[in-house]
Structures are given as C-alpha cells and as structure tokens.
Structure 1
C-alpha cells in the first residue's frame, strides 16, 4: 500500500522541476523615460534585439559548479527568453570569456563551443558579438594578431574587432572600445578609420537625400587632438552604436537609485564607484568604473551622431542621457559569476525612430540555492522519519 511518506519525496522532486522552469523565466519591465515620446512607437515595432553582456565563460577551464549548475541555468535563461520575448536578433556586448586574453587558441575554441551550447534556439537568429577587455586584455597585452584570430571566429567583425551591419533598415556600428583606450596602437588607428569611414558614409547619404555633394576630407585627424571634420548631421541621426566600455559621462548619472545591489556611486575621483557584489570572477583586466576617455567620447559623438548607444562592462544596468541628448543604455551582466542578480535588456526599434528599452531580470543565485537546500533538507528529514518509523515498527 502506498503511503503519504513514500509520495512526499516525489512531490518534492516535482515541485523542484516546476520551480526550475519558473525561475528561468525572465521578468521584464519597460524603462520609463522623463522625455519619452509617444508610446505608439511600440505598436509600429520594426526590430526587437536582445542584448546581453559579460557571460564570462571558461570553456575547458570551467569549474564543476559552472558546468553542472550555472551553465545549465544560463542555457534555460536563453531558452525561456527566446520563447517569451521572441527577439529578432541577439547582440553580445563583450566579455564572452572570463580570461580570454590569457587563453590559447585551443582554450578559446572551447569557450566558443560552450557559448554555442548555451545559446540554444538563438543559433538560428542573426548574432553579433563585440570584444571586451576580458576577451583581449589591457593595452599592454593587446595583440593585433590575437584579435584578428578571435574576430575570424565571431560573425560580422573586421580584423580590428569592429563591425557595421544593417537590420530592418536600422544601421548598427560596433567598435572595439578596448583598443580606443590605447595610445599609439595599430588597432586604435584602425578603429579611427572605421569611425571616419562610417561618418563619411552617413554624411554622403544625408547629402544625397538633400541633393548636395559631400567631399572626402579624411586627413590625419584622430581623437587625441580635437581637430575634427565638420559634421552637420543632427545629433541622434546616426547609427545605433555598440560598445563594451561605457562612454565618458559629463554630468552625474542617476544610475543606482533603483538598483538594490552593485549600484553606481560617485567617487572622489570623479568616476562612478561600483559596490562590489561579484563572485570569483574578480574585477577583470580593467576596473569596472572604466569608461572611454572624454576626447574619445566627444570624437564619437561628433563623427557618428549616434541614434542611441548600448554599452556594458560595469555589470550594472544604467540609462543615461548625455549633454547633447544622446541616450546611452548600459547592459547588466548575464551571469551569476558576475553578480547574484543577472539580467539583460531588450531594445525595440520602431519605424518612427523611437527606441523602447526593457530591463529584464533573472533569478538570484542565492534564492535558487536556498530552494535546492530546502528540498534537500526536506528529503533528508523525510528519510530520517521513515527510517525511525521502520526501526520502531519492524516488519515481521
């Protein structure tokens, strides 16, 4: 005869399976804007892009906890996000790897294989990946040959780690922001050429629409000297810009007011300071408050006039308006290796040029572990009670 004591473990296991499915579903809310335009843009949605960052994969170097727990949940996060949100494209804003700059080509390939396993249904969608500081290292370790090898294995990047593409009549430009921190570096000069070429193409397109002619005036200008070419395009009329490092902020940011942990706080040195809530991943090659320098930021604004900027690196969500009105959204880390409460964003681009950003949160690792611990304790308690019952009532 089946007793309730024999059914309890099965009920616990069934509850755990249901719990796993529920906690892997993202919770998304539209980010409100003080200067929001009409929300009718949502109705005329043209392109929906899921943006993630800082996956911090270890490939063949992954620890037991990552292989059998964190990676499993990350895979569920991607699968449930795909099923629920139905995005048209996936963008990864750098730091696929946790220590890619130290890896050999063999270890890098294991990271890319791990990445493909985690993506699941996203493998059928357009994908764009940019490089982060953990992927290619700091300036003193930056190697053009290594960067070129990595870019050959990632879609849509040139040998410098930058790329341009178009989806649903929306132009995107991704830049190797790590190289832009360096001084006299060949990669940095290659990034400048990408910016200048894209700037000329945008101006030529604008002038063509107006029936005018644009002349190629590229010279020796770069973002280290402030001698920029005149750009008569309106602010916000350029492409969607994708970066790993955030741009320099010229006024205080409101980031951190609505973020319970790991918030941005002003430091006496003028940089935001990160309240550390990360695990073993560590701060990485660059500190988490690192941004592009002011001159590089102004150079980008002047040359590209971006429609909106998406960045990463800090592990935190941030929605910031720069002084010229350009909006920058910083994407949080999507891994428990970086923070207890991972997340990502979904950007919806409308035909009227409105961009709606949704901030998506994922389950906290501490809560998942607590649930597993509770189930384990209940199972052990049930087993002990059953054993005690058998000792007190032996079968004759």
Structure 2
C-alpha cells in the first residue's frame, strides 16, 4: 500500500471521527453530566414524577432564516432532545412556549408543515407524556392572535396526585375577549376544585374532589416583575439587557393577573420562559392571614439562536416536595473549537506519517549502506 493511499485513509477516518464526535458524542458527554435530584426516602415515592421542562425552542421558519440555518438548528435540537430522552428517561415533558420562531407569521398551509417539522424534531416515545404551552411567537400577542393550536387557554392536569396548571399567558390580558373570559372561568373552576380538595367538609357535592397538594404553575410569560434586575443566576441576562424595563402583558404578566393567580391557585412553584435567560425569584404573599411562599424559575432557551449555552430543567416532583436541576447543552463555540482541533490533529497525523515514512526509508537506506 502506497504512502499516499495510507494518508488518505488517515484523513478519511479522522474526518469521520470528528463528525461523529461533534455531531453525536459531544451531546452524550455533556448531557450525562447532569441528572435528577434525589429527594430522599419518602412515602411519596410512588407518586414521584420525573419532569423535563424546556422552553423557547424557536424552530426557524422560512422568512427569517435560510435552509442551512433551519437544518443546523433543527439538527442540534433534535440530537440534544433525543439524547436527553435516552439518558434521563423522563415521565413527563413540558415545553413552555415559543416552539416556533415564526408561527404567528405563517400561513395556515405552512403552519401545518411547521407543526409536522416540530414533532419530527422533538420525537417522544409513546410512554412519555408531552404537553405544550403556547407562546407569543406561536400564536401572536393578545391583540394579534392568529393561531389557536387547539390549545385551551388554561389546562388542569393531575398526574400521580401532582397538580399542574398550564396557562396561555396571552389569555391573561384582563379584558373581555373570548380567550380571556374562558381563561378566567377555568381558573375560577380550578380554584374551586383545589379549595374543595383542601377542605372537603366545605365542599359542594358537585365538585370532583382531588387529593390536595398545591399546584405547579406553568406558562410562557414570567410573573409580574419590572425587569430582570432581580436575576442573579449565572445565566441571567447580560448587563446591557438586565435592567431594561419590562412592558407588562408583553414581557411579563401584569401585577393584577399575577396576584389573581396566586390568590386563587396558591402555587408551590412556578416555571416560565420568554426572556431566553435564567432567573430565580422568591414570591411571598399574605392571603387571608395565610402566607403563600413559592419560587419562580424562568427557564433559559433551548436554542443556540437565543443563548450561547442552552439549558433545560430536570424537576423531580412529588405531591408535597420537588427538586430542580438546571442542565446545560454544549456551547456552540466548544463544538467549533473541538472540530478545529480534531481536524488539525487529523491533518497533522497525515502529514507526519509522510515525514515518518521518509525518515524510516532514509534509516533503512543508511543501514544497508553501512
């Protein structure tokens, strides 16, 4: 076999290994470093639900991106999501809105194709439940809603005695629109169910009594806050954006809508997205001489288009406890630098092979002469 052919083989296998490592293996290496938080031995383990939460995937559309960008971002999220499912094996998945980047701008025909592309990117095994909450990029803001996505404004789920309230943030505008009216009515109904479950002796017989636990609130917009200035997480917004005032009902819920949710639902924890960055805020309210304290987690984006280090959350939940672990995906700069290093080593090995062969030949010739 000639030296030239051997160098071609080195180059071929080096390039193949680089592609496999940077497009497959690196996701396993990074994702396997994060796992579920252990809640300890508890009688509630039979009601434990391993919940994956992510948000703001912003699957690119045809207006604002070219096909290489659509393919690249779709592949990254597909490979990441598939690896997360394979390694972490969640029982339940919540996606907190803005699954599309151009959903509200799409025609009905393209929107249908968009939906198919989303489900092909985020494929879920039949044994895992996935619930999607709409965001403003999916259906538009309150006064410009263009799509409904067959999603009710408010949903109440009970899974292993854990209660979840899923809310369309655009339905909390507070006016008399059909979406808002339906949302208020549903929230009132859920409030009655929770009160009845907490105090069965005060219950109307017509209400379906549940095993009571404070619900988990999930939506797209953050709860009321004036800016991200309170956010101190390592993945909080950069200083250039951190103190930009929020436009209420666009960047976060209004104070009135937030207080209404807290009074009626008394959540034990809240999860949301929309800002693309991480934030942890402690809320404390006094309702009828009862203190309602809970944490709100703003989940960073799952897309490299929005943040340099996309994130997702693994939340271990029982009816009275929960534990949160925030996990990272590989940085795109890490993938690029790794690819450059591996390609460089491949070409160096191929070149050095030529030099080594030449030196070896010279040594043999020298030995024969002597």
Common fold, TM-score beyond 0.5? yes
Deviations 1:138-163 (A, max 9, x none): 233125xx32xx12xxxxx32xx321
Match of 2:165 in 1: 173
SS in 1 for 2:199: helix
The aligned runs of 1:72-151 (5 Å cut-off) are: 72-122=75-125, 124-143=127-146, 146-147=147-148, 150-151=149-150
SS in 2 for 1:338: coil
- Aligned-partner Cα distance in 2 for 1:71–1:188: 33
Matched, 1:361 2:337: no
Q: Distance in 2 between matches of 1:294 and 1:85?
A: 37
Distance 1:121 1:16 in 2: 25
- 1:263/1:23 CA distance change after superposition, 3 Å: farther
Question: For 1:282-310, what per-residue CA distance to the aligned partner results, in whole angstroms no more than 9, with x for missing partners?
Answer: xxxx8998110111111000001112111
Shift, 1:322, TM fit: 0.5
Q: Which moved more, 1:92-101 or 1:110-119?
A: 110-119
Cα displacement (A) at 1:382? 7.7
Find the counterpart in structure 1 of residue 363 from structure 2. Answer: none
Stretches of structure 1 that go unaligned for 5 or more consecutive residues are 33-37, 152-156, 217-235, 272-285, 390-396
- Residue 204 of structure 1 aligns with which residue? 196
Deviation at 1:384, TM superposition (A): 8.7
What is the CA–CA distance in structure 2 between the aligned matches of 1:166 and 1:328, rounded to whole Å? 20
RMSD over aligned Cα atoms: 3.6
Distance 1:339 1:261 in 2: 10
SS in 1 for 2:284: coil
Partners in 2 of 1:261 and 1:374 — Cα distance?
31
Q: CA deviation at 1:261?
A: 6.2
TM, length-normalised to structure 1: 0.74
Contact 2:216 2:269 in 1 (8 A): yes
Q: Give the SS at the match of 2:164.
A: strand
Aligned pairs, number: 338
| Greater Cα radius of gyration, structure 1 or 2 | 2
Give the stretch that moved more between structures: 56-65 or 126-135.
56-65
Partner Cα separation in structure 1 for residue 71 and residue 119 of structure 2: 16
Matched, 1:311 2:272: yes
Change (3 A) 1:267 1:121: closer
Instruction: Identify the residue that residue 50 of structure 1 maps to in structure 2.
Output: 52
Q: 1:290 matched to which residue of 2?
A: 251
CA offset at residue 375 of structure 1?
4.7
SS of 1:333's equivalent in the other structure is: coil
TM-score for the superposition, normalised by structure 2: 0.79
* Deviation by residue 1:68-94 (Cα, 9 ceiling, x = unmatched): 322112111011101111100111100
Between structures 1 and 2, the one with greater helix share: 2
2:34 maps to 28
Question: Partner of 1:299: helix, strand, or coil?
Answer: helix
2:311 to 308, 333, 343: 343
Deviates more, 1:176-185 or 1:192-201: 176-185
How many Å apart are 1:243 and its aligned residue? 0.7
- SS class of match (1:51): strand
Structure 2 unmatched ranges of 5 or more = 207-211, 286-292, 357-370
Contact 1:320 1:329 in 2 (8 A): yes
* Deviation of the 1:258 alpha carbon: 2.1
Contact 2:37 / 2:316 at 8 angstroms: preserved in 1?
Answer: no
Matches of 2:325 and 2:249 in 1, distance apart? Answer: 23
SS at match of 1:178: helix
